[in-house]
Amino acid sequence: MAEIPWWAWIGVGLFIAITSGIMGGKVSWFAWIGLLFTAIGIGKLVYLFVLKPKETEAEKQTIPQYTHQPAPGSFCPRCRITVQPTDRFCHYCGTRLR
């Protein structure tokens, strides 16, 4: 199941709050629900850009290590993963092989 992004929470919340505020009457309590959605979206935005720990360059560039021993000369020159002699591109990193 996909996570709902912050901009969707804010957009839907503002739409509900403004629409129900304009209509008034018995649906005005929807305005509070819209404001709650907006607050959740702002909370997700703050967490994503302010509170979430940053990844270091070493964490971003980690390449999984494989334990099998392939035939010599059949490695991708960039990521060192096994490639077939008929491959034109590396299936892992996309480097052109021929």
Q: What is the pLDDT of residues 11-35, one digit of tens each?
A: 999 999 888 888 877 777 888 889 9
What per-residue confidence (pLDDT) applies to 68?
A: 47
Please tell me the predicted confidence (pLDDT) of residue 36: 92
As a whole number of angstroms, the distance between CA 87 and CA 77 comes to 13
Average confidence (pLDDT) over 56-82? 67
47 lies in some domain: yes
In a domain? residue 58: no
Long-range contact list for 45-53, CB < 8 A, 24+ apart? 45/6, 45/10, 48/6
- Residues 68, 48 share a domain: no
Q: Could you tell me if 42 and 61 are in contact, meaning their C-beta atoms sit under 8 angstroms apart?
A: no
Residue 57 domain flag: no
| Domains: count for the chain | 2
Higher pLDDT, 67 or 24: 24
Range of the domain at 15: 6-52
Segment 63-74 shows an average pLDDT of: 56
DSSP 32: H
Instruction: Please check the confidence at residue 70 and state whether its pLDDT lies above 50.
Output: no
Hunting for tokens 């649906």 — which residue is that? 27
Q: Which two tokens stand for residue 32?
A: 């509070």
- pTM summary value: 0.52
